[in-house]
Amino acid sequence: MSAEILTYIFVGLSFALYIGIAIWSRAGSTKEFYVAGGGVHPVANGMATAADWMSAASFISMAGIIAFAGYDGSVFLMGWTGGYVLLALLLAPYLRKFGQFTVPDFLGERYYSKAARVVAVLCLIVISFTYVAGQMRGVGVVFSRFLDVPINTGVVIGMTVVFFYAVLGGMKGITYTQVAQYCVLIFAYLVPAVFISLLVTGNPLPQFALGAEAGDTGQTVLQRLDSTLVDLGFAPYTEGSKATIDMFAITLALMVGTAGLPHVIVRFFTVPKVSDARKSAGWALVFIALLYTTAPAVGALARLNFVETVNETSYAEDTPDWVKSWEGIGLIGWQDKNGDGRVQYAVGAPFEGAPSFTGEIGASGERLLSNAPTGGANEIYVDRDIMVLANPEIANLPAWVIALVAAGGIAAALSTAAGLLLVISTSVSHDLLKKTFKPDLTEKNELMAARGAAVFAVLVAGYFGINPPGFVAQVVALAFGLAACSLFPAIVMGIFSRRVNKEGAIFGMLSGLIFTVLYIGRFRFGWFGGGSEEDWLFGISPEGIGAVGMALNFAVAFGVSRFTKAVPEETVALVERIRVPSGAGAAHAH
């Protein structure tokens, strides 16, 4: 049976499972729609949290970034895993003890202000839509390659599936769907990793593959990769090119951004007790570690296999079929610059952006490109987002493994997209309507508003998936920076500071968010005339500027609070009550 038919079967069965769970667990109340009724078991919640947190960026894009960035790509590993530990220890138990539905709910109550709640909703929507763009892009990439449909069509199919289980089931449906999605994605990630590790090193544990001998070369995988890349003119894989301050800033932004992600935080409101929030955080860390300890080997082995199977091959006779398959959908491009009919992989970007085909075929059989410069030795473009998906094909693994990876990639993207869309709809219906503008709204109408907001959010997410601003991991890194500069400081000060008042929190969130958005807009999207790396503030890239925005948020919040009215006594008492180190009993609800 072909890989394409198996992919249709695997993906179709997984979609049927997700939609079936959504129908079975249809939300009948706002509490079920927002927090799954508050009765999810810690192990199930840990698995759902892992699926919610491990997005298309983790499954599809992270190992691809590591494959081509080498040492510099380690910022994603350090930032995202460290950030989850920060969230689990510093925020989750206290927010669960507070006992409300959403992050804006907490901030609105803690800062005794509807304005603070509205600003928090604004920050949440900006973060979530930035993040969801990467997820829908991932869905489109998987569909376009494995189901032979255009990327835009793939995005629409993904939107339709998310619509069913996010709009019907709410958090209740999403939770149990994410448990199934975690099982699919982790199995899909580990199986090819084990196969490839065995093929290259003879060791079935990919976590130890980097230090194992690569075949009979007498070199470890990392040594082999270093020497191979140096021979081609690249920098060694194990050496970084980023400035130390930028590495630090990106890692910090990813860490605190992780801890400020609203769709992950809300998962800790779905368990019965504060102690269960701590337990589910521990379980989630175990489930997450299975993928994150595997990703470095997946990235390194993918790069090594790519170089050894593609470079210097005759395009017509020796180049693998998978190259031509990905070329057909525009995620790989080759231009025969020297006319020898062979693929040359070397230093330098061959194209301006992704390949743009003219529709004509060149003398060597390649698809002619309108944006392929003639200078430089490099002839091939590879989209970073395809490396994990292409890995089974690169290593010539069985067709069922290829189909499994396709289903896993879709599961990773859809699980996070659903969580993001839910927090958007919840913020609109609960925080803006019920708690701010229409307090007399009935529960039935609030639930209808939540579903309507989810529909709108799905449509906007689809637009961003069709018009993405970059690679999946790049887009997600920007979302983490936005969370770092806006919500994280407000949450931390809300829990641990009795001095920060509503004015401080509002001005802090706005200053951090506006600064970071404008900086990212200028250097990533060309606003205000754009700018080069030489113009970066302190040498910090747009992916790391969230760390500076966070510092600005803290400084403004404490500064404004010092010169404005003190926090009311009842709010001080609330802060003290949240901080009581209690792990027993149900959370206090207001």
Q: What is the pLDDT of residue 30?
A: 59
Confirm whether 566 is domain-assigned.
no
Q: What is the pLDDT of residue 525?
A: 75
Question: 406-457, pLDDT tens digit by residue?
Answer: 888 777 777 777 777 777 777 787 777 777 777 787 877 877 887 788 788 7
Q: What is the pLDDT of residue 442?
A: 80
pLDDT at 481 over 80: yes
> Are residue 50 and residue 169 in the same domain, yes or no?
yes
pLDDT at 583 over 50: no
Q: Write down the mean pLDDT value for the chain.
A: 80
Q: Which two tokens stand for residue 90?
A: 């510093």
Confirm whether 495 is domain-assigned.
no
Question: 132-159, pLDDT tens digit by residue?
Answer: 777 777 777 777 766 677 777 878 887 7
Among 325, 360, 391, the domain boundary falls at 391
Confirm whether 43 is domain-assigned.
yes
Q: Which two tokens stand for residue 42?
A: 């810690």
Confirm whether 533 is domain-assigned.
no
Q: Would strands 357-361 and 332-334 be described as parallel, antiparallel, or unpaired?
A: unpaired
Q: Which two tokens stand for residue 230?
A: 């140096």
> Are residue 323 and residue 451 in the same domain, yes or no?
no
> Are residue 154 and residue 75 in the same domain, yes or no?
yes
Q: Which two tokens stand for residue 461?
A: 């997410």
Largest CA distance in the chain: 79
Question: 245-293, pLDDT tens digit by residue?
Answer: 999 998 998 888 877 777 777 777 777 777 787 788 888 888 988 988 9
Instruction: Give φ, ψ of 349 to 5 degrees.
Output: -90, 120
Confirm whether 356 is domain-assigned.
yes
> Are residue 177 and residue 56 in the same domain, yes or no?
yes
> Are residue 53 and residue 35 in the same domain, yes or no?
yes
Confirm whether 307 is domain-assigned.
no
This prediction's pTM: 0.79
> Are residue 437 and residue 330 in the same domain, yes or no?
no
Q: What is the pLDDT of residue 153?
A: 81
> Are residue 187 and residue 208 in the same domain, yes or no?
yes
Instruction: Give φ, ψ of 170 to 5 degrees.
Output: 60, -150
Q: Produce one character per residue of 344-369: b if its CB has 16 or more CB atoms within 10 Å, e if not.
A: bbeeeebbeeebebeeeebebebbbb
Q: How many domains does the chain have?
A: 2
Task: Give the C-alpha separation, 383 to 471, whole Å.
Answer: 8
> Are residue 297 and residue 385 in the same domain, yes or no?
no
Confidence band (pLDDT; 50, 70, 90) for 468?
Answer: low
CATH assignment at residue 224: 1.10.4160
Among 337, 356, 391, the domain boundary falls at 391
3-state SS of 526-550? Answer: CHHHCCCHHHCHHHCCCCCCHHHHH
> Are residue 241 and residue 349 in the same domain, yes or no?
no
Max mean pLDDT range (187-191, 490-494, 548-552): 548-552
Q: What is the pLDDT of residue 589?
A: 42
> Are residue 319 and residue 450 in the same domain, yes or no?
no
Confirm whether 383 is domain-assigned.
yes
Confirm whether 551 is domain-assigned.
no
> Are residue 384 and residue 412 in the same domain, yes or no?
no
Rg of the chain taking only CA atoms, in angstroms: 24
Among 446, 477, 508, the domain boundary falls at 477
Domain that holds residue 368: 314-391
> Are residue 411 and residue 352 in the same domain, yes or no?
no
